[in-house]
Amino acid sequence: MTGPVLFSYGFRPFFLGAGIWAVLAMLLWILSLTLGMPLGGSYDALNWHAHEMLFGFGSAVLAGFLLTAVPNWTGSLPVSGTPLIILAGFWLAGRLVFLYPDLIHFYAAIALESLFLPLLLLICAREIIAGKQWKNLKVLIGVTILTIANLIFHYSVITEGDIALASRIAVSAYVLLIMIIGGRIVPSFTRNWLNRNQKTRFPVPFNRYDAVCIIIGAFALLSWIISPETTVTLLLACLAALLHIARLARWRGWETLSEKLLVILHIAYAFIPAGFIAIALSAVDYLNAYSTLHILTVGAVALMMLAVMGRATRGHTGHALTASPLTILSYICLIASAVLRPFAEIILNYFHTILAVSALLWIAAFALFVIEYAPMLLQDRRQRSE
């Protein structure tokens, strides 16, 4: 192996960067709220916070996962060394210039920040097409939607419009990817674990029912993006919730309770139907739109990301695929944050208290991840995968 260990595989710099940024970005957001720190400059602190959670933290985890998964799918060598350093450099540059974009010029900062996702998309597309893995091209749909959502987000800020549309598009892109990729890895990992533990009943393999779940879920998300408060959205979201509850039950997650590294994947996926229920309630004005967003972002997206980062790091650095006490504690913190955060918009008398506790739980979850997994990500150990 030549060059720094950190840049030998895509998951290393991006999982480490995502964990650190999840902590720092939330701390900066708290300082902005409490001390009036001019975070984001002309971009506005609230817009900065929403953007950095969706397109800063989230895109780093996505990059780390795809740059590790795509070589496994195609049988090619992973992106490493100088190309990986350049890609990670673009991600880091985006985070730095957006702290106060006016320092280099508002539009120049936006242009620089907007380069990372298209570069990631091109790299993944090149590898998948070169490897003729046509069935995996559907994963790029989610990355493409996320790239477009980032541009719409920036445009909304520039024109002083509402960022809610771009936020819904971005969240929907992540949820779509979880429905597609999670629907592959969760039952697969579960089957492997059940087989090793001499169980005889396994998750139902991917079939037409799973395809229907993804399609209905995609239509429900599309309706939520376009018209979040309509009867069509209500009906599609209710149908999607029921279908995904049944889909999750087909994976037999209750049999994995003894291995928290695995059961957390099932818990994270459970926030998908919970999110659809929230969308349905929001459509009839029984739930605040921000509460709906946070059920999906913190519960489904961030929790699945935390679970995947830990598992992939262990699997590719030669560590045992089992959850340590620190890992379990990080799961508990983030689950608590996901459950608590939506209530900030529901129980308005305790808005700031709930917001503060939820933010601290988020920070604790990812700080624990960094404490435990940074040494693994920086170590030179034999890599393997499940």
Tens-digit pLDDT profile for residues 141-170: 999 999 999 999 999 999 998 999 999 999
The two structure tokens encoding residue 7: 């840049």
What does the pLDDT read at residue 381?
63
Of residues 36 and 204, the one with the higher pLDDT is 204
**Which whole number is the average pLDDT over 268-278?**
97
Is the predicted pLDDT of residue 208 greater than 50, yes or no?
yes
What does the pLDDT read at residue 382?
52
Q: Quick check: helix, strand or coil at residue 75?
A: coil
Chain-centroid distance, C-alpha 83: 23
**Which whole number is the average pLDDT over 320-339?**
96
Instruction: Give me the phi and psi of 251, to 5 degrees please.
Output: -95, 0
Distance between CA atoms of residues 287 and 109, nearest Å = 36
Average pLDDT, the chain: 93
Would you list the DSSP string of 116-134?
Answer: HHHHHHHHHHHHHHHTT-G
Distance between CA atoms of residues 145 and 65, nearest Å = 17
**Which whole number is the average pLDDT over 277-302?**
95
DSSP state of 298: I
**Which whole number is the average pLDDT over 206-224?**
97
Q: What are the b/e assignments for 252-271, b being 16+ CB within 10 Å?
A: bbebbeebbbbbbbbbbbbb
What does the pLDDT read at residue 384?
44
For residue 162, how many other CB atoms are within 10 A of its CB? Answer: 9
Please report, as a single letter, which amino acid is at residue 96.
Answer: L
Is the predicted pLDDT of residue 130 greater than 90, yes or no?
no
Lowest mean pLDDT among 74-88, 215-229, 369-383: 369-383
Of residues 76 and 260, the one with the higher pLDDT is 260
Entry field: residues in the chain = 386
Distance between CA atoms of residues 361 and 370, nearest Å = 14
**Which whole number is the average pLDDT over 334-344?**
94
Distance between CA atoms of residues 61 and 16, nearest Å = 9
What does the pLDDT read at residue 198?
85
Instruction: Give me the phi and psi of 2, to 5 degrees please.
Output: -115, 155
The two structure tokens encoding residue 87: 């890609």
What does the pLDDT read at residue 137?
85
The torsion region of residue 198 among left (phi > 0), alpha (psi -120 to 50) and beta comes to left
Confidence band of 291 (pLDDT split at 50, 70, 90)? very high
Name, in order, each residue with C-beta under 8 angstroms of 314's C-beta and a sequence gap of 6 or more.
261, 320, 321, 376
What does the pLDDT read at residue 334?
98
DSSP run (H or E) holding 61:
helix 58-74
Confidence band of 385 (pLDDT split at 50, 70, 90)? very low
- Residue 315 and residue 384 in contact, taking contact as beta carbons nearer than 8 Å: yes
Lowest mean pLDDT among 49-53, 199-203, 207-211, 372-376: 199-203
